[in-house]
Amino acid sequence: MFFPKVTILGVGLIGSSVALAMKKRRLCGHITGFGRREERLMRAKDLGIVDSFDLDPSRASLGSDFVLFSMPVGFFPRIAGMIRDSLKEGAVVSDAGSIKGSLVHEMEKALSNKTPFVGAHPIAGSEQSGVDAADADLFEKRRCVITPTDKTDRTALDTLTELWRSLGAEVVIMTPEEHDRVFGAVSHLPHIIAYALMNSADELNHSYLAYAGQGFLDTTRIAASSPEVWRDICMGNKENLIQFLDTFMGRLERVKGYLAGSDAASLEGEFSKAKTLRDECGQD
């Protein structure tokens, strides 16, 4: 598998890491980057992540064999409309976004039939962002969820699956809708909680934050993530998140009730259940 020309639409952590990973494994020729800030694109070129760049996504995508959307998901449909007419017939178009659901169907409509879109989500992010955090081995032994629909081109799906496996990822197939429920619970909801916890501590008394220990810092680590990125993710998955927040707030009310009733045994039971579940996390 070899892509003579690749376009990375968004040279942040994930997009830049895909570029480096493909170069390291000799899966591509020329890589062109697109972004909103010229200085970031110049930095990507200086670091050898991209070979050229363009501030026009249509020109950046012209003649590419593989196009990856890796900017904040709120920009996807508009950029898809801008590049539609410049895409090469048979090119594979994919993404690395954290929501799928209706977005995948919207992208399928925005792009022409000659350029199949296949949704993907590598589970390899961090609170770090930007081109300087890029890592050619970021996807090794990580999962990548691919989200085909009944309109997905089989050849494009097979190509994308092979690509992610070549980058070291374990590929998992889900529907776009299943993806958003799963990651709404284990990724999107925790980000909302981390942001809310930071803001709650500040609201109680800003000076308390100076005494934050490792436990607080570990718990709120993901609150250091890009607000712009997570704004778009949460808005794109808001129906699931509203439901999940109701469940979470119900749990908090239960704990509040145990405290109000001095019910130490039930409080310990709640904590014990959570500890057991946490101990089981990641165990296959």
User: What pLDDT, on the 0 to 100 scale, is given for residue 18?
Assistant: 97
Label residue 116 by pLDDT band (50, 70, 90).
confident
Find the helix or strand (DSSP H, E) in which 245 lies.
Answer: helix 238-260
Residue 217 and residue 192: Cα distance in Å, rounded? 15
Q: Which residues, 6 or more positions from 35, have their beta carbon under 8 angstroms from its beta carbon?
A: 9, 10, 11, 41, 44, 53, 55, 71
Q: Is the pLDDT of residue 284 over 60?
A: no
Q: Convert 113-156 into a string of H (helix), E (strand) and C (coil).
A: CCCCEEEEEECCCCCCCCHHHCCCCCCCCCEEEEECCCCCCHHH
Label residue 59 by pLDDT band (50, 70, 90).
very high
The average pLDDT across 155-183 equals 97
Residue tagged 């178009």 (tokens): 93
Residue tagged 């892509």 (tokens): 3
User: What pLDDT, on the 0 to 100 scale, is given for residue 153?
Assistant: 92
The average pLDDT across 246-273 equals 98
Q: Which CATH class is domain 178-280?
A: mainly alpha
Q: Does domain 3-175 have CATH number 3.40.50.720?
A: yes
Q: In 3D, which of 179, 188, 176 has the Cα closest to residue 248?
A: 188
pLDDT tens digits, residue range 120-138?
999 987 656 788 888 999 9
The average pLDDT across 63-86 equals 94
Label residue 1 by pLDDT band (50, 70, 90).
confident
pLDDT tens digits, residue range 17-55?
999 999 999 999 999 999 988 999 999 999 999 999 999
User: What pLDDT, on the 0 to 100 scale, is given for residue 277?
Assistant: 95
Q: Where in the chain are the domains? A: 3-175, 178-280
Label residue 282 by pLDDT band (50, 70, 90).
low
User: What pLDDT, on the 0 to 100 scale, is given for residue 126?
Assistant: 64
Q: In 3D, which of 49, 55, 51 has the Cα closest to residue 16?
A: 49
The average pLDDT across 56-70 equals 96
User: What pLDDT, on the 0 to 100 scale, is given for residue 152?
Assistant: 94
Q: What is the residue-averaged pLDDT of the chain?
A: 94
Q: In 3D, which of 156, 149, 95, 92 has the Cα closest to residue 122?
A: 95
Rg (CA), the chain: 21
Q: Cα-flanking dihedrals φ and ψ of residue 170, to 5°?
A: -90, 120
pLDDT tens digits, residue range 215-239?
999 999 999 988 998 999 999 999 9
